[in-house]
Amino acid sequence: MNTTAALIETEYRLGAHNYKPIDVVLARGEGVHVWDTDGKRYLDCLSAYSAVNQGHCHPKILAAMIEQAGKLTLTSRAFRNDQLAHLYEELAALTGSHKILPMNSGAEAVETAVKAVRKWGYEVKGVPEDKAEIIVCTNNFHGRTMGIVGFSTDPDARQGFGPFAPGFRTVLFGDLDSFRDAITENTVAFLIEPIQGEAGVMIPPSGYFTGVRELCTQHGITLILDEIQTGLGRTGRLLAEEHEGIEADMTLIGKALSGGFYPVSAVLSNSEVLGVLKPGQHGSTFGGNPLACAIARAALKALTEEGMIENSATMGDRFQTGLKDIRSNIIKEVRGRGLMLAVELVPEAGGARKYCEALKERGILAKDTHGDTIRIAPPLVITADQVDWGVGQFSDVLTAA
Ligand SMILES: *Cc1c(COP(=O)(O)O)cnc(C)c1O
């Protein structure tokens, strides 16, 4: 019962089929590499959707996890622990945030922001009860909970799961007029990804976010940036908002906040929004637990002290240039920022999945998204040689077609 095929068969038989993974069964990881059950090595070009920015099994995060796990793992927030204050301090120093609320998954951070911003709308902005509106974008991805899928525009995410919570308006991503037209006196927040990851690494036109920031300030709208995927070095900066020269009122981080060891997310707030939450109005048994905090502290330290953000910028440019130099009539566009990259294929290529399967055979794990796009997001510790080798594999697969 331990051959690869048997493991896949058991998963299929006993597990819900809410994923369709590429058939590789991974057993070990180190840095940018993972190994399957047969010992074959792959360059990980997904990094668990950017949760493993620091590289697989980063030794210092591992050591912090083991040390804390032997001391104290969970107290609940009914009592205090000696790690949370340090995480607050270090996150605040790094991001300039004034208030922080720790949760576990990314979706929980999004739900937390939605709750807080609605309450802020009623208590501070003076919106009539139950009238708060939050503006979101077409092709958004903010997670999988009921509240969140209700304002998704992806039929797969929504279909069959209603009825959904009201209070959301959808505008075109990257279109300032669309956003302006949707604003009412009851608008409490604009929730948006700086770069849409799941939608296929979609970067809005330059100047868009400057306009968004101005409109939000002008109309007293809380700008919530979902940096769960773009944040923590992925785009070559600590936060993707830095590329736009703006500051969000609330920033959501998760994924790489733990370097992939543990679910840790956080709502960072620059305004009075989180201040409206009083004892008993929000919480999570595991949120802010000492194990999570110790892991997150080590993960942030690795990211900043080991030059990973700068490496993301330089290796991202190298990877993108290499991909752009590939001459292939099935490539429609190469785009990205830092190590958040995508190759979009022409429709005639017949979908990105089969190229991901071919890349797997050559030792690269990458994920197709939205049909025609291959997403490329290796751990931020990738070296120039590894980038060049990766580009070579992409070149071979995309020119063989
Ligand atoms: C992954 C992701 C989420 C959801 O995070 P989970 O930990 O899977 O709940 C939310 N927003 C963005 C932009 C993401 O990429």
The closest residue, in CA terms, to atom 6 on ligand 1 is 106
Res 160 pLDDT > 80: yes
Entry pTM:
0.98
Q: How far, in Å, is the centroid of ligand 1 from the Cα of 195?
A: 13
Amino acid identity of residue 395, one-letter, is: S
Give the active site residues: 141, 226, 255
pLDDT band at 14 (very low <50, low <70, confident <90, very high): very high
* Nearest alpha-carbon partner for 293 in 98, 82, 27: 82
Look at residue 280 in the predicted model and tell me its pLDDT.
Answer: 96
Percent of the chain with pLDDT over 70: 99
* Mutational pocket test of ligand 1: of 228, 253, 286, 369, the residue with most ligand atoms within 8 Å of the beta carbon: 228
Angle at 24 between CA 18 and CA 29, to 5 degrees: 105
pLDDT in the model for residue 270 = 80
Residues with Cβ within 8 Å of residue 79, at least 6 apart in sequence: none
Give tens-digit pLDDT for 227-277. Answer: 999 999 999 999 999 999 999 999 999 999 999 999 999 999 987 899 999
Share of the chain above pLDDT 90, in %: 97
Query: Would you place residue 370 in the very low, low, confident or very high pLDDT band (cuts 50, 70, 90)?
Result: confident
Nearest CA to 359 among 3, 46, 56, 77?
Answer: 46
pLDDT band at 401 (very low <50, low <70, confident <90, very high): low
* Residue 335 predicted with pLDDT over 80: yes
Q: Using one digit for the tens of pLDDT, what is the confidence trace for 67-112?
A: 999 999 999 999 999 999 999 999 999 999 999 999 999 999 999 9
**pLDDT tens figures, 28-63:** 999 999 999 999 999 999 999 999 999 999 999 999
Pick from 255, 257, 261, 284 the residue to mutate for probing ligand 1's pocket: most ligand atoms within 8 Å of its CB.
Answer: 255
Q: What domains lie within the chain, and their CATH numbers?
A: 4-54+307-400 (3.90.1150.10), 59-305 (3.40.640.10)
Q: List alpha helices for 128-286, DSSP H.
A: 146-149, 155-158, 176-182, 208-219, 241-244
* Ligand 1 atom with least separation from CA of 143: 4
| pLDDT reading at 2 higher than 70 | no
